[in-house]
């Protein structure tokens, strides 16, 4: 993919705009169903309405980190190595961190009325917090100085290591005795323990947050590509200013860019 194509984003302007509109419509529908149409829970009352955000946010975080892992594998694999995969991985990880932060905050707001506490040192909660900090570390690693290739390789390896925590988070409620309830939908029996309009609202939330993830990934990727291009231009200008245009009018500096790049940050 060329720099110009990268700058257009992953989806292209028209599909991206359509995705944005679809995301907004799905979120509005979620608000209507989640706050007005779905009935309050028999035991938890209205506090259970937080589930329609908490579960989809957790799903979107899993999806984001899964895409980061897939893109990192494609970057590490020599046949498919491309800066596009590195940028996809970085963009997806940042969106995933936002959704993980939301998952933790929403979980805390739900825990206070139903458990009576904001936080517990529970296996699900702790492994999710670890996930949040692992990917914060991944984003910090991407900001360390170095060539684009060294950044891509170390970030991709870190992404593969960080992803190990995702199945630990998901299965923590099965592996250990936890205060957190077991999976309602994606349980070991794949038998959703939720019915009627509440189930529909939950699926609507999953759809809305999936669309939001796709839209945010596209926008964040485009920003990374623009910044990458700007840094390349600045570096080439700096090299030209230092060595002069040369006999070929400075064309020779282009080939040195990748090797000479330093301080590349997303």
User: Which residues contact another protein (rule: CB under 8 A)?
Assistant: 31, 34-35, 45-47, 49-50, 53-54, 57, 98, 101-102, 105-106, 109-110, 112-113, 143, 212, 216, 219-220, 222-223, 226-227, 230, 233, 265
Structure token digits, residue 225: 């590509």
C-beta neighbour count of 242 within 10 angstroms: 8
Contact between residue 225 and residue 3 where contact means Cβ atoms under 8 Å apart? yes
Given the complex with another protein, which of 173 and 224 has the nearer CB atom?
A: 224
Phi, psi torsion values for 13, nearest 5 degrees: -60, -45
CB of 40 to another protein, least distance (A): 8
CA proximity to 49, closest of 180, 202, 170, 204: 202
6 or 74: whose CB is closer to another protein?
6
Q: How far is the CB of 127 from another protein (least distance, A)?
A: 22
Distance CA 193, CA 173 (A): 15
Our CB check for another protein shows the closer of 8 and 160 to be 8
To another protein, the closest distance from the beta carbon of 195 in angstroms equals: 21
Report the residue number, 52 or 163, with the smaller CB distance to another protein.
52
Q: Are 29 and 209 in contact (CB under 8 A)?
A: no
We find the least distance from the C-beta atom of residue 109 to another protein, in angstroms, to be: 5
> Taking the alpha carbons of 32, 33, 35, 36 in that order, is the dihedral positive or negative?
positive
CB of 77 to another protein, least distance (A): 29
Judged by beta carbon, residue 74 or residue 212, the one nearer another protein is 212
Q: Quick one: 58 or 74, whose CB is closer to another protein?
A: 58
What CA dihedral angle connects 148, 89, 70 and 74, to 10 degrees? -20
- Beta carbon of residue 151, minimum distance to another protein (angstroms, whole number): 14
CA angle, 212 as apex, 21 and 18 as ends, to 5°? 25
């Amino acid at each position: 993919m060329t720099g110009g194509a990268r700058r257009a984003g992953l989806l292209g302007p028209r599909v991206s705009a359509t995705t944005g509109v679809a995301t907004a419509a799905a979120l509005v529908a979620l608000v209507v169903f989640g706050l007005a149409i779905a009935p309050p829970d028999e035991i938890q009352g209205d506090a259970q309405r937080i589930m329609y955000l908490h579960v989809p946010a957790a799903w979107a975080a899993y999806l984001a980190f899964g895409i980061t892992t897939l893109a990192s594998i494609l970057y590490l694999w020599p046949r498919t190595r491309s800066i596009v995969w590195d940028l996809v991985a970085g963009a997806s990880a940042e969106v995933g961190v936002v959704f993980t932060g939301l998952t933790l905050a929403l979980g805390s707001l739900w825990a206070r009325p139903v458990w009576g506490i904001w936080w517990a040192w529970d296996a699900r909660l702790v492994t999710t917090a670890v996930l949040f900090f692992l990917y914060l570390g991944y984003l910090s690693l991407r900001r360390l100085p170095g060539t684009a290739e060294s950044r891509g390789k170390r970030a991709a390896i870190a992404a593969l290591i960080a992803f190990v925590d995702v199945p630990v988070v998901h299965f923590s409620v099965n592996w250990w005795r936890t205060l957190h309830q077991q999976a309602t939908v994606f349980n070991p029996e794949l038998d959703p323990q939720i019915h009627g309009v509440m189930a529909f609202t939950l699926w609507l939330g999953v759809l809305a947050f999936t669309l939001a993830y796709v839209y945010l990934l596209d926008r964040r990727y485009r920003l990374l590509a623009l910044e990458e291009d700007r840094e390349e231009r600045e570096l080439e200008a700096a090299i030209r200013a230092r060595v002069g245009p040369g006999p070929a009018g400075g064309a020779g500096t282009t080939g040195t860019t990748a090797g000479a790049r330093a301080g590349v940050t997303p």
